[in-house]
Structure 1
Amino acid sequence: MRQHSPTPPSAQPVALVSGAGRGLGLAIAQELLAHGWRVSIGTRQPVPQLADHGPAQLQRSRFDALDADSETGWIAEAAAHFGRIDAIVHNAGVLSTDSVLTASDAEFDRLMAINVKSPMRLTRQLWPYLQQSPNGKVVVMASLAGKRVRAPEGSLYAISKHAALALAHGIRHCGGADRIRCTAICPGFVDTDMADGVLPEMRAQISQPADIATLVRTVLELPASASVAEIPVSWQVESQY
């Protein structure tokens, strides 16, 4: 059998993953690292679960979605470390169980700042690197809450995720001329700390972080000729999204 030479490290694509300190973001980082990606994680604290990966494959920067300066610093550090940036996964986000009638203005502003404004700013700053990449990609972790509202509780969160979904479509259109593709992943319940209030019998069936991580990697590795706008994912069969 013919032996293939390993891919030179400098040719390995580089992805930024926000909020990779735990849960879904950590699973995405682990999935990409396991399949040959070099990864820069943006977190508020070190991530001991990834300590086995050396600097050739993993770089970490301090990132806080409420601190615009940390976004600029993260991109600069990742680019200096790896010499290229091919993709970003906008995973950092926060949940709210407030309704649109009970939420304060401050809570609205916090959700929009973290779930929408920070990903928009990061993408804007990353754009020159994505334009230089042979396969520039953006993934926005939206939610099924961004496609429908099922109850008063969490309707404020749904507003932010509707906006995140619109952001993904806006990025997709902006990237048309440069063949930079953007996909919104829209999961329902996923077995992370955001599902701590879910009943035990339901939690035993809901989507696993590894399921969503596999979808993210698949989207990132698709060629530009396969542009996927959004992927809704649920742990059950829903009548409509």
Structure 2
Amino acid sequence: MSEPVVSIGEFSRLTYLSIKTLRHYHDVGLLEPAAVDPSSGYRRYSLEQVSQAHLIRRLRDLEMPVPEVRTVLAASDADARDRAIRTHLARMEAQLASTRAVVASLRDLLAPLPALDVTFVDLPAQPVLVVRDVVEAHASARWYDDARLRLEATLDQSRLTATGPYGATWAHAFFENERGEVAAFAPVAFGGGLPARRSDPGVRLEELPAGRFATADHIGSLDDFDRTYGALGSHAIRHAAPLADPIREHYLHDRTEVQWPVRTQ
């Protein structure tokens, strides 16, 4: 015996979805009525469609895009359907974590920034193992992680040993244009060298130039990294003459040391 069909009004009450929403779901291809009267255009729905309507409502409440909802509904079996739903839930959870981090950062912004301990240091030239590239801002974290692995692999192949924390230099264009040169580096001792033939010729031995820097530590979430930059850069402007040289960062276990280049006195 086939399932009874009901009017769109009755189906609206069964599914807790408005007639307007049901018409929209029909128009975008999410929920096709069981029958449409060719003369009047009246839509009628099968009781078998009630659970499908409930699923669509929950997926749309989770802001799943219409094409992805179609993928879930067209899944060949329950496992395929559940995989699509889990993928979207994972994305939603990541977005939620990001939102919570931004909310926490905004709350922190309402509080006064703790006084930043800024010192001026004169650094000698430093030999480094380095990877350079022009990097898009949105991909910079992934690029640095890859560059660090390349540095570590080259150190393992060479006679060099890292003598300090890994770091990176960031050209002004990176901040101004969201795209600029970044150099990931590992400080090394004088002497030794790289093998003539190595697996990654993009890793080179160079020298960071000597210079004077306004230096401060950033501790805590990277969501507030901009506040450290703002405070350190402002201090450098008030008490020295900043240079257009790249900003340096050193990545320690519990903090990031930021070095703002200034004119040598």
Please state which band the TM-score falls in when normalised by the shorter chain: under 0.3
- What is the TM-score when the length of structure 2 is the normalising length? 0.22
Q: Which has the higher strand share?
A: 2
Identify which of structures 1 and 2 has the higher relative contact order when contacts are C-alpha pairs closer than 8 Å and 6+ apart: 1
Structure (1 or 2) with the larger CA radius of gyration: 2
